[in-house]
Amino acid sequence: MREDHRTQHLHNHQRNKLSMITTLFTRTAAYVVVVLLSYAMGYLSHSSPPQPTQAPPPPPSVFQLANLPTQLDNFRVAAHCSNSPLPPHLVFPTILDRVFNGSSPYTNFPPPHLSPFLKKKRIKSSGSNGAVFEQLIKRVKPKVIVEVGTFLGPSALHMVNVTRKLGLQTQILCLDDFRGWPGFKDIKMINGDVLLLQQFMQNVVYFNATDSVLPVPFSTGSGLEKLCEWGITADLLEIYSGHDFISAWGDINRAYRILRPGGVIFGHDYFTPADNRGIRRAVNLFAEMNNLKIQTDGHYWVIDTAFAK
């Protein structure tokens, strides 16, 4: 019995030793596998050199923007210009149809309820009859003139007189919202409406120019976009509106889209106390971007697109 017990004890001891060796071998093998996998993953992750970080390109300058397919892409003008410019004899009929529902705004004007508030004529010239008008009209011989900013119409009516003297059949569109400005009190206001459009029309009637002058009573921005969309182009364009840079910049660039090739665009107050912060800055930048030459005549600026730099 004692011999059997010793034999059984020896077998148990050998079994325990084998179990410990097996466990140790298994743990060691697992550790080795983990180390090898870690090494392999590290090697693979560093086997290709890191790619250099590229610096972002510098933003384009305003002159680089000018070289886009059209120099006006950066102004986000929503309307597209017609690919078929209207012949001059269709300009007035198109305005009458699109703006005044097919009838002349001068028909039965002024209505009886407005007559007491309008003067027979009310013109404030403010340099609107300078020699530059006749010089440009003689040179261009325009069939269509668009005036951007009109007020009471002194420039437009002066140009009517010049074209008549020269024997020209010229149509003049006067684009203005005819609202004046905040605090404007020179003309009677009725129910919040300043009668600026009506007084302008009365001036046109007084000078017997209803066949030559039509108002386009909208803001310069929306009005110029519509003229462009309708295919209306001008031989001569006068900018006579806002003096700040933003207003002048928008008007000049939108107006340029409806100027026929070789036409002339001009405006007033190139020399003002604002110096290079208003109209002059807008005109100079526009001319530089479009490779055009600026001429001056008194306080007027003139750009003849037939003469590039």
Going 283 to 284 to 286 to 292, the CA torsion angle's sign is positive
- Give the model confidence (pLDDT) of 152-180 as tens digits: 999 999 999 999 999 999 999 999 999 88
For the segment 272-299, the average pLDDT, to the nearest whole number, is: 88
C-alpha to C-alpha distances, 99 to 93, 164, 175, 215, 278, nearest whole angstrom:
10, 26, 12, 10, 32
For the segment 282-296, the average pLDDT, to the nearest whole number, is: 93
Confidence of residue 2 (pLDDT cuts 50, 70, 90): very low
For residue 274, the model assigns a pLDDT of: 66
What is the four-CA torsion angle of 139, 149, 234, 208, rounded to 10 degrees?
-80
For the segment 264-269, the average pLDDT, to the nearest whole number, is: 94
- Measure the CA–CA gap between 181 and 155, rounded to whole angstroms: 19
- Measure the CA–CA gap between 122 and 132, rounded to whole angstroms: 23
Question: Contact at 8 Å (CB) between 192 and 165?
Answer: no
Smallest Cα–Cα separation from 175: which of 134, 132, 224?
224
- Give the model confidence (pLDDT) of 290-301 as tens digits: 999 999 999 899
- Give the model confidence (pLDDT) of 190-242 as tens digits: 887 889 999 999 999 999 999 999 999 999 999 999 999 999 999 999 998 78
For residue 181, the model assigns a pLDDT of: 78
Residue in the block written with tokens 């206001």: 189
Helix (H, G, I), strand (E, B) or coil at 278: strand
DSSP for residue 58: P
Question: Contact at 8 Å (CB) between 257 and 220?
Answer: no
For residue 42, the model assigns a pLDDT of: 54
For residue 20, the model assigns a pLDDT of: 55
